[in-house]
Structure 1
Amino acid sequence: MDDYRGDWERLLGAWRERTAAAEAMGGEARVARQHARGRQTARERIAALCDPDSFREYGALAGGQHPAGHEPVPADGLVGGTARINGNPVVLFAEDFTVQGGSIGHPNAAKRARLVRLALEQGLPLLMLLDGAGERASNQGERYPHAPGDLQLLADLQGQVPTVALVLGTSAGHGALAGMFADLVIMLEGSALFSAGPPLVKAAMGVDTTAAELGDARMHTRDSGVAHNLCASEADCFATARYFLSLLPPRRGADLPVIAESKTTQPYRCEALAGLIPPRVDLPYDMRAVLRELVDRHTLFELQPDYGRTLVTALARIGGRPCLLVANQPAVQAGAITRDAALKARHFIDMASRFGLPLVSLVDNPGVMPGPEAERSGVLRAAGEMFQAQRRYRGRKVVVVLRKAFGFGSSVMGMNPWDQQLVTLALPGISLGGVPALGGAAASGADDDEALAMQTRQSGAWLAADAMAVDRVVEPAALRNELIAALAT
């Protein structure tokens, strides 16, 4: 009988050598430089993010056999495959900055497309760990493959499975654009995100700039709204991504990850709410403190906290059920609807609608922000888009009027007749109207008697309850239990 062990040993030796070269990434010196910047390598990041020993790599040998005999490029600068997070399967890829700056060659592009397509076909969440320079300059001298790109596939993927982008270094060009398709964009403190880096900006515009000036993490999470959450460390980025995924189903149409009854999911009276919410509509208070009382203990996860600060958007569990909370923030500009707040709400309401998350809207605002600056910002169009998002929403919608709701500000928060609310709740001291009595009377030319009548009509929940504008008037202490009962309906 023939003995093939020698042949196999030669083949396996070549396989082991090529695999080791891929796993060595850019080599010891480049790995050391990555560590010196306080950052992990692509493979270390995957190990830290995913469940232990769950990663199965796809395309490790891509970039190792160039048709023209060029030097091998380990894994072509992209490490990706399948893994488990919180015990559930996911697809992910990580740009490897130690290999040609994490730039995208043709094998790298093919691997990205393969992994995005895998997530789409198998219905698995996708995570993108971004730390790369965009398209590789050497691509210009090669023939481009005639095939769908990963950006086309990411557009197809949107809304089908949860997607998360983690910007862990400097992400430019194509990689940065890929992140814009994500449901949640997380940026590491000190990272940067931009369409073109300083050399291209200098060549195209003659402007000297830096990566931080173009796309600093704080700028994107506070001013541009391009990214959602800022984290102080890579470990915090990974914990944020894991918790976000724990509150969503693995794909559109799948069951929500409801937690069975436990001590943290039980109903209880929130006696503290009466001390947190002042009945007078002109007094500020912190909505975050109210939300912490209403949701299950230690489950509140605020989304995009530094952008559009007149509105709080958050994921949490109420009675063990994950839901999206959209709440006006009276501590910031009285909770008025600004352009940034409306755009933030629109994004996450659309996300909740796609994945079947219940929507809990807590209303306490004086309307859409007025004034020249607000009008220049495009607040009307943004508020219209927020209104459309809540109108399109078709899951369990619960509206809670805490104090005030005026004009279009009440409408964008879902307080509309025949808008498929599961229930509309109100506290007894609410104030409702097309415009606030204070200011509205003067604007309409009303005399003192008419102004007083307007203020009387807007005071208290009684007229709204009589007209069936609200379904139930409840005391503050009972509000958590009302929400649990509604979401369990």
Structure 2
Amino acid sequence: MSNAQDWQDTLHDLSRRRQHAHSMGGEERLAKHHGKGKLDARARIDHLLDPGTFQEFGTLVGGEIAADGLVAGAGRIDGTPVMVGAEDFTTLAGSIGPGGNAKRYRLAELALRNKIPLVMLLEGAGFRAAGGEHYGRTPTDLIAQARCSGKVPTISAVLGPSAGHGALVAPVCDFSIMSDQGAIFTAGPPVVKEATGEDISKEELGGPTVALPSGVIHNVADSDEAVLDDIRRYLSYFPSSAWSYPPTRMYDEEAGLRSTPELLDIISRDNRNIYDMRTVLDVVFDEPDWFEIQPKFGQAIICALAHLGGYPVAVVANQPTELAGSIDSDAADKAAHFIMVADSFHVPIVFLADNPGMLPGSQSERNGVLRSGARMFAAQTAATTLKLHVTLRKAFGFGSMVMSLLGFDNQVATFAYPGATMGAMSAAALSRASHADEDVTETLKSMELEASYRSAGSLGFDELISPEETRNSLILALQRGIFSRQEVAEPVSRTVITP
């Protein structure tokens, strides 16, 4: 008998065990899962990764419990290695057992060790009833994930009900996205019913209509496939880790210099006329392919990933269609997190300011608008990445400071349009506060229009520019700023205590 024949029984046994793990919860449970329009855990990984690149580890963990309810391994997205874990809802509702918990830790450990992104696909019931099994130090996977923060990009997707310990993965990540069938909560409806007597569905408890307005989840997409496509898109703007710089697109005509006369029609010279800042982004950045983060939360600020002259950038822009651009606590909290993520991975930040300040009023104060504003200010002034600023029409009070409109704050460039107004408050507010008559009001408005020239006279801005020059001014400044990358990239050292 040859050596090869000696191996046959052993390899057949290995193949049988692998096949059991690949069968997940079995044909009946898989069919039920697919019947809801969902991909199973392995199909999700296949869709997310470049074809044929998935290399699984821990396949036989769990023994008779297929992969112990968690498919884990490494693969590539657009050629870049990533670590990926997918909870298998067809196997004991994707609950976390001892082996699965170990795999979760290993995923985060390898992501940080190899300096590559970590992606977690969630649909599970949290920790499994122990049943005499030893879980060891159960929170270690979250500790390992927290160590990844600011070092490698971390992304989560909620593709079904996600409860308990597993659900904590999402808010710890840089970016979280949910399908329209997703739901996330501390404990599911049965536990809520037992604990509080409240009878509630999983959708009402933590579906998109709850998780998006609360800010727990950043984005939503209408199918598993769309969620996974958005993860690939999100990662395209980032380096593999904080030890490298973001990828640059090859230069082409679309990424080159061009004037932006369209902005003369979009942006009214009258501060009282509203326009949609999204139309400005469409004009200024390369192709209208920018990717908005948290569009349903803190809508007075737009946070988006875009390309400018081929370079990935993070955009923080006031939105005049929401609260007239006033910055509320949700918008400031959203922007603070977004700025810290961009800064962590050396993505340049472009600030587009057009706001009358922080949102005033009793409700806004009860929501802690000053604390949230201070958080955003701390994030942006501590940011070490390249910062570029444009004041389009107005930026008043603290609303100007959080948008990086502070002279000598280490910006690469600061620009403003002629007639852009700034100060403690607008002319309209000042005239109302002083009970001014119409003549005085007009005088105040005239003084306000001169503010940009007075500021330019003392170098309050690097330059006043025409709206037609917006894109070219930003590209040329960014290209100069990129030359500061003359040292090897390193993780950002945080020195500010976040308010």
1:17 corresponds to: 16
1-structure distance, mates of 2:334, 2:280: 20
Is 1:48 aligned to residue 41 of structure 2?
no
Q: Report the counterpart of residue 199 of structure 1 in structure 2.
A: 190
Q: Which residue of 1 aligns with 2:174?
A: 183
Give SS of 1:347's match.
Answer: helix
Is 1:398–1:423's contact at 8 Å kept on the other side of the alignment?
A: yes
Q: Which residue of 1 aligns with 2:287?
A: 297
Per-residue deviation, residues 140-189 of structure 1 (Å, max 9, x unmatched): 52223247611001111111011110111111111110111111111101
SS in 1 for 2:12: helix
Between the aligned partners of 1:263 and 1:234, the Cα distance in structure 2 is 34
Distance 1:331 1:28 in 2: 50
The aligned counterpart of 2:462 is: 471
Check if 1:220 corresponds to 2:211: yes
Pick from 84, 87, 90 the counterpart of residue 92 of structure 1.
84
Deviation at residue 37 of structure 1 after TM alignment: 1.1
- C-alpha distance in 2 between matches for 1:140 and 1:298: 54
* Offset at residue 464 of structure 1 (A): 1.3
Q: Is the 8 A contact 2:66 2:91 kept in 1?
A: yes
The Cα of 1:475 is off from its aligned counterpart by 0.8
Structure 1 residue 480 corresponds to structure 2 residue 471: yes
1:105 aligns with 2:97: yes
- 8 A Cα contact 2:251 2:310, kept in partner: yes
Aligned to 2:145: 154
1:69 is matched with which residue? Answer: none
Indicate yes or no: 2:354 matched with 1:355.
no
CA deviation after TM superposition for structure 1 residue 446, in Å: 6.9
SS of equivalent residue, structure 2 residue 327: coil
Q: Which amino acid in 2 is paired with 1:290? A: V
1:245 matched residue in structure 2: 235
The TM-score normalised by the length of structure 1 is 0.95
Separation (CA, whole Å) in 2 of partners of 1:261 and 1:426: 27
Q: Deviations over 1:187-244 (max 9, x none)?
A: 10121011110111122222211111110113212x1011111101112111111111
- Quote how far apart the aligned CAs of 1:11 are: 1.3
Matching residue's letter, 1:9: Q
Residue number among 110, 121, 124 corresponding to 2:113 in the alignment: 121
Provide the C-alpha distance between the structure 2 equivalents of 1:383 and 1:320, rounded to a whole number of angstroms: 31
Partner residue in 2 for 1:57:
56
Task: State how far apart, in whole Å, the 2-side matches of 1:146 and 1:35 are.
Answer: 35
Any stretches of 5+ residues in structure 2 without a counterpart?
481-499
Contact 2:97 2:135 in 1 (8 A): no
Kept in 1, the 8 Å contact 2:392–2:417? The answer is: yes
Question: 1:255 is matched by which residue type in structure 2?
Answer: Y
User: What is the distance in 1 between the residues matched to 2:60 and 2:262?
Assistant: 59
- Any conservation in 2 of the 1:457–1:463 contact (CA below 8 Å)? no
Partner secondary structure for residue 220 of structure 2 = strand
Residues 83 and 91, structure 1, Cα contact 8 Å, conserved in 2: yes
1:82 aligns with 2:74: yes
Pairing of 1:292-331 with structure 2 (within 5 A): 292-331=282-321
Q: Which residue, out of 262, 267, 277, partners 1:277?
A: 267
CA separation in 1, counterparts of 2:123 and 2:455? 53
Shift of 1:271: 1.3
1:267 and 1:251 mapped to 2: Cα distance?
A: 30
Which range is displaced more, 147-156 or 463-472?
Answer: 147-156
Q: CA deviation at 1:261?
A: 1.0
Partners of 1:454 and 1:393 in 2: how far apart? 36
Q: Find the aligned partners of 1:482 and 1:181 in 2 and give their Cα distance.
A: 37
| Structure 1 position 352, deviation (Å) | 0.8
Unaligned 5+ segments in structure 1 are: 65-71
Work out the CA distance in 1 between the residues paired with 2:380 and 2:251: 30
CA contact (8 A) 1:253 1:356 kept: no
The Cα shift of 1:361 comes to 0.2
Instruction: Verify: 1:341 aligned to 2:340, yes or no.
Output: no
Query: Contact 1:432–1:459 (CA<8 Å) still a contact in 2?
Result: no
> Over aligned residues, Cα RMSD in angstroms?
1.6
Displacement of 1:448 in angstroms is 7.6
Deviation at 1:442? 3.8
The residue type equivalent to 1:204 in the other structure is: A
**Shift of residue 60, structure 1, vs aligned partner:** 0.3
Partner AA of 2:113 in structure 1: E
Q: Distance in 1 between matches of 2:137 and 2:318?
A: 49
Other-structure match for 1:68: none
1:85-117 alpha-carbon deviations (Å, 9 max, x no partner): 011110000000000000000000001101110
* Counterparts of 1:354 and 1:343, CA distance in 2: 17
Aligned match of 1:262: 252
2: CA distance between counterparts of 1:390 and 1:8? 61
Q: How many equivalent pairs are there? A: 479
Residue 56 of structure 1 aligns to which amino acid in structure 2?
Q
- The residue type paired with residue 11 of structure 1 is T
**What is the rounded CA distance, in whole Å, between the counterparts of 2:464 and 2:33 in structure 1?**
58
* Contact 1:92 1:127 survives alignment (8 Å): yes
For residue 383 of structure 2, the aligned residue among 393, 397, 400 is 393
> Using the alignment, how far apart are the partners of 1:357 and 1:181 within structure 2?
20
- 3-state SS of 2:250 partner: coil
What CA deviation, in whole Å up to 9, does each residue of 1:431-461 have, x standing for no partner? 1111112122443677888765543332142
The 1:292–1:94 alpha-carbon spacing in structure 2 relative to 1, beyond 3 Å, is same
Moved more, 99-108 or 176-185: 176-185
In structure 2, distance between residues paired with 1:235 and 1:206: 37
Q: Distance in 1 between matches of 2:353 and 2:248?
A: 26
> Which residue among 394, 405, 420 is the counterpart of 2:410?
420
Take 1:430 and 1:146, find their aligned partners in 2: how far apart are those partners?
Answer: 57
CA distance in 2 between partners of 1:453 and 1:272 (Å): 30
Q: Aligned equivalents of 1:94 and 1:431: distance in 2?
A: 51
The residue type equivalent to 1:52 in the other structure is P
DSSP 3-state at the match of 2:317: strand
Which residue does the alignment assign to 2:492?
none
Alpha carbons 1:26, 1:98 under 8 Å: kept: yes
Alignment of 1:124-143 (within 5 A): 124-137=116-129, 139=130, 141-143=132-134
Is the Cα contact below 8 Å between 2:38 and 2:223 reproduced in 1?
Answer: no
Alpha-carbon separation, structure 1, partners of 2:472 and 2:303: 21
